[in-house]
Structure 1
Amino acid sequence: MPTPIKKVLISDTLSPAAIAIFRERGIQADLRPELGKDKEALAAAIGEYDGLAVRSTTKVTAALLERARNLTVIGRAGIGVDTIDVPAATARGVIVMNTPHGNAVTTAEHAIALMLSLARQIPQADASTQAGRWEKNRFLGIELTAKTLGVIGCGNIGAIVADRGIGLRMRVVAYDPFLTPERAVALGVEKVELDELLRRADVITLHVPLTDKTRNILSAEALARTKPGVRIVNCARGGLVDEVALRAALESGHVAGAAFDVFTEEPAKDNVLFGHPNMVCTPHLGASTTEAQENVALQVAEQMSDYLLNGAIRNAVNFPSISAEEAPRLRPYVTLAEQLGSFLGQLTEAPIRGIRIVYEGEAAGLNTKALTAAAVTGALRPFLEGVNMVSAIEVARARGIQVETATRTAVEGPYASRLHLTVEAEDMPRDAAGTVFGDGRPRFVEIRGIALEAAVAPHMLYIRNADQPGFIGRFGTLMGEAGVNVATFHLGRDRPGGDAICFAAVDEPVSGDLLEAIEAIPQVKRARAVRF
């Protein structure tokens, strides 16, 4: 019986060259960009396809995935996967791929273009001139030479913006928790804390993902700490800046101007920033150049074709590069490595200098490259958008983060295998260890050198406390009063009356108020909510 032809639906506009790649490799590629704007029609059509290629218009929801009975891979021509329900795709065994580097130069150049437009009021001057008013004295701009450019987020795009700013003879300061001093020197930028950047920068440009830690990074309070007359550029993600507060700062004159390519709600048909004379807006054009569109389209077509035809996985955001033969044995260790990394990453607020993984016993004989990528992915993902198990090592290297591994045939403790992960941050190292039991489920077996055995759940509480009477009772009372059910409760200590830890699974997220109440327990030194 002949092998069925693989079918890919392209629901957003994609380069003809990308479509040709699919067809040259024997894959049926149907270009139907009208479906990206019609969720009902897309849901009706998706069932017959093995792959779905999208850009930013198509919304891949859990409901759509329910209808996608044959779907095995989603390819995003671009970096952002916020329009794709990745957990729902993962639950259904659908690989989600992106193209993380295809539009970096284009987005960086757009940020520079907006910065120049702000400095010389080019859009306003153009409108005035074409209206026949010739208001030469009205548009008094500023030179960028010798001004200070503040770059928030110095990854792939931010580093290119910094380089272009240096080319304009600007002084560049950068805030990025993952930017090492050595990498800053190589880029020619001065690494500073956020408050110093806000105080010194004449122009601020944002290049970070939208996460819980970066949402409203330019809040009303942060904007108030900026230099009077500052100009702000956002080509990264809507929601990084408090738009209402920015409008007020523009009205008062504290912020001299702003240029946005992204907005909290898109498409942005009505926004509080619209209409201000010192505001420049573009409709999410950061990746909209011929070169970028071509690059990401070709990349996604090649990646999807490789996966559909031979199972090769590249730039997947929800699965590592693992061969079919080793997958069954390796998969629980991949989960463990990512969980250990995610746990330590969520606890780390200072910049990370290095990540070290030691594989002991049976784990030393596994595909440690995939496990290392999983651990680094987990450690970086709380802060960086687009990090996946394929790109994690490269991302860490680009930021000057040293990744080290070691293998040992012997195992510390009563286990056949063990993974020990250490995250070296500027303030202190943090470490944890885990293993995989016979049931195939990962367990944490050590945190901060303290032994325990704990399976990981989606919502966990990590508490450091003194080993003294009263903690358990007060903790239980607080959880009961808040109506939060404790699913599992694991304790460990270094010695009687010494340092202790509690690692508890809860059935729902814990509020900030409840965390504060837990930290107020006399024996508690620190309480953190972590998610997996």
Structure 2
Amino acid sequence: MPAPKVLISDALSDAAVQIFRDRGIEADFRPDLGKDKEALAAIIGGYDGLAIRSATRVTPKLLAAAPRLKVIGRAGIGVDNVDVPAATARGVIVMNTPFGNAITTAEHAIALMFALARQIPQADASTQGGRWEKNRFLGVELTGKTLGVIGCGNIGAIVADRAIGLKLKVVAYDPFLSPERAVAIGVEKVELDALLARADLITLHVPMTDKTRNILSAENLARAKRGVRIVNCARGGLVDEAALRAALDSGHVAGAAFDVFVTEPAIDNPLFGHPNVVCTPHLGASTAEAQENVALQVAEQMSDYLVSGAISNAVNFPSISADEAPRLKPFVALAEKLGSFLGQLTDAAVTGIRVTYEGQVAGMNTRALTAAAVTGVLRPFLPDINMVSGPAIARERGIVVDEIKREGGNGDYESVIRITVEAEDMPRDAAGTVFHDGKPRVIEIRSIEIEAPFAPHMLYVRNHDKPGFVGRFGSVLGEAGVNVATFNLGREAEGGNAIAFVAVDGPVSAEVLARIEAIPQVKRVRPVSF
């Protein structure tokens, strides 16, 4: 059998390239190829693996030209430059290195705090320009100030630890941070409004999701403490840049330091040119140590997969053996989709996830299935999460994950997976199974029996079981041109609580959702996607 071949189309260290070769893998190191998509597409068909950083874009067109490709390894956290659904559809594993640059990014955030507090870049430019403006650059001390950390996961917790060492008081807003974890890392858990009111400095360490986009909006910036300084080394778009510029101009915000921007490369930006703004070109992960760590890590992971079939840090598949894969695959899909459904319904902080296995599935590799369930629950809030890192991230945030196995089953189905998400407001639960066609289905929501397949776009409706609901609901969708693929109903008892789980052909607008919610029988409507 010929040795596996890996193409390295972005810059990786010599040591990382040597890892492939030491494992018997033929490594073709062409670090400039990622910038030439046509040249890359012309040769990709001869490789089993593709090792990249951020310059190479993996599109459906490139994947179509790569019939041999088995694994893509991204040296770094984000996989925005990889079409993961397209890779999954072609059976290509996509791996990343989720923890290789956490310290480096945290240190950059701390560096920007000092730069803001002491106006170091401005003072440097002035001094080297021949001006001795000692009285112009009056700074502020960090000691004794309150730092507000928005997002206290891996990187945020490191920033908090460093800040505590610098004698700052740290308050943190993170719906997934448990009170116990907050105590353990020495921060005070608060709601966002309290953080805005108290923080002298704010640093952001959350992923970009629908819930975090413009988390520092014009309204939230107005609620912030006057004279606050803001640092963003996470993702562009977490702060409304135009609103921040206005707050800087008015003096409400004393300064800002940004490493990330809505549009990158950032050639022009509303923040540029303000005397109290410090900007860097997305340097958060740019240290020699971090670049080397992620390069070595991705080379090890890809080699393990190509040589032995072991999978680690895959964003589109759990860590399971080749022998288990065919039997587990539909149940992995079921667990993740059930978890994602419940995660999309949950707005309050998640405190626990309980996964119950009934029947034959209880005898399978439930560790992989639980990882899939946890990933599904958390992915609406943490899009970079994967089935390997999911359980670790849950532990890190103090989320208790429990498994219950009942091999006897419940009699109605050969196998059932039941997930309960405990949140600070209320628990939410759903159950599902895999039929003989291999497709996962929901069989119970909120203890109400229902049978419904999953679809890319769905509407979940809670309603009163009263005459007229179905007709009005259908009319609203029809008038809006929304085509229904499947329509499934369930109820507790006649005239009581009921649910509808409806597959539609595309996303439903906010206006249509508002019209559905206005139907007298409707308690709640939520769009969900899979």
For residue 351 of structure 1, what is the amino acid of its counterpart?
A
Secondary structure of the 1:223 match is helix
1:232 partnered with 2:220: no
* Residue aligning to 1:70: 68
* Residue aligning to 1:310: 308
Secondary structure of the 1:33 match is coil
For residue 288 of structure 1, what is the amino acid of its counterpart?
S
Report the Cα distance in structure 2 between the residues aligned to 1:46 and 1:125, rounded to whole angstroms.
50
* Residue aligning to 2:251: 253
Report the Cα distance in structure 2 between the residues aligned to 1:278 and 1:62, rounded to whole angstroms.
43
* Residue aligning to 2:278: 280
Deviation at 1:40, TM superposition (A): 2.2
* Residue aligning to 1:11: 9
* Residue aligning to 2:365: 367
- Percent of pairs identical after alignment? 76
Report the Cα distance in structure 1 between the residues aligned to 2:276 and 2:56, rounded to whole angstroms.
33
Tell me whether 61-70 or 222-231 shows the greater mean CA deviation.
61-70
TM-score by length of 2: 0.99
For residue 267 of structure 2, what is the amino acid of its counterpart?
K
* Residue aligning to 1:524: 522
CA contact (8 A) 1:80 1:385 kept: no
* Residue aligning to 1:266: 264
- Measured against aligned partners, the alpha-carbon deviations of 1:46-105 in whole angstroms (never above 9, x if no partner) come to 222211111122222222222222211111111111111111111111100001111111
Report the Cα distance in structure 1 between the residues aligned to 2:61 and 2:120, rounded to whole angstroms.
45
Deviation at 1:277, TM superposition (A): 1.2
- Select which of 183, 186, 189 maps to 1:188: 186
CA contact (8 A) 1:145 1:169 kept: yes
* Residue aligning to 2:105: 107
* Residue aligning to 1:93: 91
Deviation at 1:418, TM superposition (A): 0.7
Output aligned runs, 1:363-512, within 5 Å.
363-412=361-410, 414-512=412-510
User: Aligned in 2, Cα 1:413/1:203: closer, same or farther, shift over 3 Å?
Assistant: farther
Deviation at 1:34, TM superposition (A): 1.4
Report the Cα distance in structure 1 between the residues aligned to 2:64 and 2:407, rounded to whole angstroms.
45
* Residue aligning to 2:287: 289
* Residue aligning to 2:128: 130
Secondary structure of the 2:429 match is strand
CA contact (8 A) 1:492 1:500 kept: yes
Q: Please tell me the root mean square deviation across aligned C-alpha atoms, in Å.
A: 1.0
For residue 107 of structure 1, what is the amino acid of its counterpart?
T
- Measured against aligned partners, the alpha-carbon deviations of 1:427-483 in whole angstroms (never above 9, x if no partner) come to 000000001111111110000000011110010100000000111000000000110
Output aligned runs, 1:31-50, within 5 Å.
31-50=29-48
Report the Cα distance in structure 2 between the residues aligned to 1:66 and 1:268, rounded to whole angstroms.
32
For residue 174 of structure 1, what is the amino acid of its counterpart?
A
- Measured against aligned partners, the alpha-carbon deviations of 1:338-371 in whole angstroms (never above 9, x if no partner) come to 0110000000010000000110011111111110
Q: Which runs of 5+ in 1 are unaligned?
A: none
Tell me whether 213-222 or 128-137 shows the greater mean CA deviation.
213-222
Report the Cα distance in structure 2 between the residues aligned to 1:46 and 1:241, rounded to whole angstroms.
39
* Residue aligning to 1:207: 205
Tell me whether 248-257 or 298-307 shows the greater mean CA deviation.
248-257
Tell me whether 324-333 or 449-458 shows the greater mean CA deviation.
324-333
Deviation at 1:413, TM superposition (A): 5.5
Q: Where do 4+ consecutive residues of structure 1 move more than 6 Å?
A: none
Report the Cα distance in structure 2 between the residues aligned to 1:418 and 1:522, rounded to whole angstroms.
34
Tell me whether 55-64 or 304-313 shows the greater mean CA deviation.
55-64
Report the Cα distance in structure 2 between the residues aligned to 1:39 and 1:232, rounded to whole angstroms.
38
Report the Cα distance in structure 1 between the residues aligned to 2:151 and 2:220, rounded to whole angstroms.
16
TM-score by length of 1: 0.98
Deviation at 1:28, TM superposition (A): 1.7
CA contact (8 A) 1:235 1:262 kept: yes
- Select which of 349, 352, 367 maps to 1:351: 349
Report the Cα distance in structure 1 between the residues aligned to 2:495 and 2:117, rounded to whole angstroms.
62
Deviation at 1:45, TM superposition (A): 2.7
